[in-house]
Amino acid sequence: MTARARFAALAVAGIALAYATPAAEAQGAIDDACSRGGWHRVPFSADRTDASVYLLSAGRDRIYASAHWGDAPNDVWQTLSAAMEGSSLTALNTLEGQRLSDLLMTPSHPNTLAWASGFGDRNLFGALAASPTGFAPKGTLTAWPSRLMGAGAEVFTLATRPDQTPGIYRWDAAGPNGGDWVLASSDVRDAGGQPVRAAWASATDGRGRMWLGTDRAGIWTSTDGSSWEHRGSSPSLDLRYATVTGLSVSPLDPLRVAVGLGPSAVVTPAPGANVSRGVLTSVDGGLTFGAATFPGSSPLAADQITDLAYSPTRVDTLFATVWGDGLWVSQDGGLRWRHLGGPLEPDTTLDRPAAASRVYLSVMELVQPALDAGCELLFVGGEGGLWVRDVSELGQTTRIFLPWLNRGNTEQQLRAAANVTPRPLTMTLPASPR
């Protein structure tokens, strides 16, 4: 399968192969992971180990996850939820069989705690804070693949259905029949002036600024949902044409923005085309970005960044999931990366065995549970389910593979050579302020 086809399966459908799960089962409450080391599987109430999680949204008290299992015509789409003090994910009857394109928690919204966007021409759904599992249709917008964004008490969605008016829509609770979606902006367009066909990433910073990562139309931002502007220049590539597959803004410094790049899922690149990859970071609010860096066992492996998450307590710590290459962490703001042992592989560094299984992770959430502010729960979902671990005490010693220490050879070339061991550089990174 090509890189584009794999990413299309991830971003559009979330389809994944059944995968055995050797990780330890969770015991007790989900937030018990704060007091235990290592990875812990968050079980489904139906005890499924072949489900693949493709959407996540988490807050201090609750988590939502959308999953898929089976094969057509017997495939199953299900959304599940659990309280942080719960022990397993329970299927939501109100979203039974719904294939979703996004999930969003809005704790600051006066009424609606969570939102869900149906895939294709399905509706959008909301769940009240008083009934967090009782999703019901909200309005009449059928959006096609869309993203949900929240800024304070406002909720927005990108609708791409071409036979309606594509653009950014705002939820108007004061509208007729209990509220409806109203067009807020038609600004978000590609370099040819056409409405974007899809978007795969979104984020909101602590000041209410929203960010949207699009398919082949780069990064857009807004403070009110009505006026959107294109952001980003980089020495690596022209961001006007980039496909942004991961996006995160630091909770501690809203000027720090990270974007992950991947292949388009709606446009087939021309033969020989330069497909952008890697992670770009900005320290000036997305006005400029540095050159791309590459979480992954090689730059070529980092062609599908599926998600990014900044730490809520350490300004320089950034996590990345790479499709087929597991979980990575940077503790210097995205300049250098090391492999962080995921739930389906041992904790190790970049010199892990060449025969290590490929790990397909789709989504990631990093939260501080309400009952333990010193804990950072990292949730990762992908083939085989959902896992959690506390990363608040992540070590500062890391091993960086540098080709110039190995006569210009890549790690893969060295591993393919008999009796040759790569020489990583061992160093201690400065501790970030907490």
% of residues, the chain, pLDDT over 70: 79
Residue 104 has pLDDT above 90, yes or no: yes
Q: What's the average model confidence in pLDDT over 69-96?
A: 90
Contact call for residues 31 and 369 (beta carbons, < 8 A): yes
Q: Does a structural domain hold residue 434? A: no
- Find where tokens 């790569």 sit: 422
Q: Does a structural domain hold residue 102? A: yes
Q: How far apart are CA 20 and CA 306, in angstroms?
A: 21
Q: Does a structural domain hold residue 135? A: yes
Concatenated DSSP letters of 174-219: TSGGG-EEEEEE---B-TTSPBPS-EEEEEE-TTS-EEEEESSS-E
Q: Among the listed ranges 142-146, 297-301, 426-430, which one has the minimum average pLDDT value?
A: 426-430
Contact call for residues 10 and 350 (beta carbons, < 8 A): no
Q: Return the closest-CA partner of residue 401 out of 434, 427, 365, 363.
A: 427
Q: Place 231 in a pLDDT band, splitting at 50, 70 and 90.
A: very high
Core vs surface per residue 9-39: b (16+ CB within 10 A) or e? bbbbbbbbeebebebeebeebbbbbbeeeeb
Contact call for residues 361 and 342 (beta carbons, < 8 A): yes
Name the more confident of 403 and 319: 319
Q: Does a structural domain hold residue 350? A: yes
Residue 42 has pLDDT above 90, yes or no: yes
- Find where tokens 């399966």 sit: 9
Q: What angle do CA 428, 278, 229 make, to 5 degrees?
A: 115
Expressed as residue numbers, the domain containing 213 is 3-428
Q: Place 111 in a pLDDT band, splitting at 50, 70 and 90.
A: confident
pLDDT the model gives residue 47:
66
239 burial (CB, 10 Å; 0-12 / 13-18 / 19+) is: buried
Q: How far apart are CA 423 and CA 191, in angstroms?
A: 44
* 3-class SS of residue 109: coil
Contact call for residues 47 and 66 (beta carbons, < 8 A): no
Reply yes or no: is the peptide bond before residue 343 cis, omega within 30 of 0.
Answer: no
Residue 347 has pLDDT above 50, yes or no: no
Residue 427 has pLDDT above 60, yes or no: no
Q: Does a structural domain hold residue 185? A: yes
When the pLDDT of each residue in the chain is averaged and rounded to a whole number, the result is 81
Q: How far apart are CA 52 and CA 18, in angstroms?
A: 8
Q: Does a structural domain hold residue 133? A: yes
Residue 15 has pLDDT above 50, yes or no: no
Q: Place 185 in a pLDDT band, splitting at 50, 70 and 90.
A: very high
Name the more confident of 204 and 302: 204
Q: What's the average model confidence in pLDDT over 313-327?
A: 92
Residue 3 has pLDDT above 70, yes or no: no
Q: How many domains does the chain have?
A: 1
pLDDT the model gives residue 304:
86
Q: What's the average model confidence in pLDDT over 6-24?
A: 34
Name the more confident of 46 and 333: 333
CATH number of the domain that residue 75 is part of: 2.130.10.10
Q: Does a structural domain hold residue 433? A: no
- pLDDT tens figures, 113-140: 999 999 999 999 999 999 999 999 999 9
Q: What's the average model confidence in pLDDT over 273-300?
A: 85
351 burial (CB, 10 Å; 0-12 / 13-18 / 19+) is: middle
Q: How far apart are CA 298 and CA 242, in angstroms?
A: 20
pLDDT the model gives residue 46:
72
Strands 136-137 and 124-128: antiparallel
Q: Place 384 in a pLDDT band, splitting at 50, 70 and 90.
A: confident
Q: What's the average model confidence in pLDDT over 394-402?
A: 52
Q: Does a structural domain hold residue 144? A: yes
